[in-house]
Structure 1
Amino acid sequence: MAGTQRTPRSLDYPQPVALLRNKQSETPEPTPGLLPGTGDGKGRPTPKRKESEAANKRPLVPTDRRAAGRDAKSAQREARARQYQAMKAGDERYLPAKDKGPARRYVRDYVDARWNIAEYFLPIALLFFVVMIVTTGRDAVISFVVLAALYVLVLIAVVDAVIMWFGLKKRLRTKFGEIPKGTAFYAVMRAFQLRRSRMPKPVHAKHGVYPE
């Protein structure tokens, strides 16, 4: 009825005392055998973060810089000596990266087997320069002839190198299926070197022994 007051029902909210008791009951009991202040039961306190970081720190620079420098130089000398011996003997394990691989070895063997005009370019060009220096101011005709012959030699050497590369390119595709980048430059530069001064050393002592 409108004039009648309704008694409010008591809400079933947990009382503060009950909540406190529940929290106290949920608190885990200490594991037997572990003492207060011991982190993992090893009988010693857990190290602090600063102490752990300090223990893990290592010096970036060696304490004895002179000794470290001497060791580094000695290691470099040994590496260079090992690499030089590998270039002479053709040991693939210690060759520079630019000379490693079966394709590069095939290129070297092919260029070494061929008679390349470019191989004799440097000594002939040196001879022409000497003649030009001697005849300069004395005989203009001879100087002009020598200079023209030098340009003709350069043209012939370049044409011969191009012919060599086309023949080698066909062989590389047949054998390996693809041609690694920089192979043409590698082959031409080797062709312009004297055979005795080429590194790695030619495998065969004479021309004409082509790789299979």
Structure 2
Amino acid sequence: MFRSRSKDEKASAQQVTADLSKNPRDPEAPKGRPTPKRSEAQTQRRRAQSAPMDRKEAAKRQREARRADLVRQREALNSGDERFLPARDKGPVRRFARDFVDSRFAVAEFFLPVAVVILVLSLFGNRVPRLQDIALLLWGVLIVLIVLDSIGTWIRLRKQLNTRFPNEPKRGAIPYALMRSLQMRRLRLPKPQVKRGERP
């Protein structure tokens, strides 16, 4: 069973190998599978080259891809490039909502500066009781003005969206615009693309 091959068998095997090397396979002979298209072959080659060798390599490539996406996203937030914006900022409806808010003054954008002033006034309220009353009054007036202004923005924006985008999905566009109006203009992302007073 485990006997060594005889000299005759070795000689015949060498003869067959020599014949095969002298006479290569006929290119016209069928090979049992269709020739792949060039694009498919290139895709397979690229996939073989880019396929990670192990888990560490795969994780590293994933991190690099995520970092590149974040860089592109940050640049898009500054430039307004629609292609690389986050999903929440994409689309003509969201762009119009941003432009609608950026083209006008909103009471809500003064919320943070006034809140800081109110905080400072309330800190000195223990020494001067009158200051605490002024801070509370200012706070109440600001809240009422923000609510009234937000209701007006809601009504006007909804009307404009229904007129301009009758067939587009508008879900979440108005809360998105109101949240944007709470931010100071220079801190808004994506950066404002229209000037104040300019029609969106």
Structure 1 length normalisation: TM-score?
A: 0.66
**Are residue 199 (structure 1) and residue 189 (structure 2) matched?**
yes
- Number of the residue aligned with 1:157: 146
Root mean square deviation, CA, Å: 1.7
Of 46, 51, 54, the match for 1:64: 54
Q: How does 1:1-212 map to 2 (within 5 A)?
A: 64-133=54-123, 135-177=124-166, 180-204=170-194, 206-211=195-200
One-letter amino acid matched to 1:84: R
- Number of the residue aligned with 1:57: none
Alpha-carbon distance, 1:63 to partner: 5.9
Residue 126 of structure 2 aligns to a residue whose secondary structure is coil
Alpha-carbon distance, 1:124 to partner: 1.1
Residue 136 of structure 1 aligns to a residue whose secondary structure is helix
Q: How many residues align?
A: 149
CA distance in 2, matches of 1:151, 1:77: 44
Large movers: runs of 4+ above 4 Å: none
- Segments of 5+ residues of structure 1 without an aligned counterpart are 1-41, 43-61
Deviation per CA, 1:156-176, whole angstroms, max 9, x where unpaired?
A: 112111101211111111111
- Number of the residue aligned with 2:36: none
Alpha-carbon distance, 1:89 to partner: 0.9
CA distance in 2, matches of 1:71, 1:108: 35
Larger relative contact order, structure 1 or 2 (CA cutoff 8 Å, min sep 6):
2
CA distance in 1, matches of 2:64, 2:118: 44
One-letter amino acid matched to 2:109: E
One-letter amino acid matched to 1:88: N
Alpha-carbon distance, 1:149 to partner: 1.0
Larger Rg: 1
Deviation per CA, 1:152-193, whole angstroms, max 9, x where unpaired?
A: 101111211110121111111111115611112101001111
Deviation per CA, 1:86-141, whole angstroms, max 9, x where unpaired?
A: 111111111111111111111111110011111111111112112211x1321222
Structure 2 length normalisation: TM-score?
A: 0.69
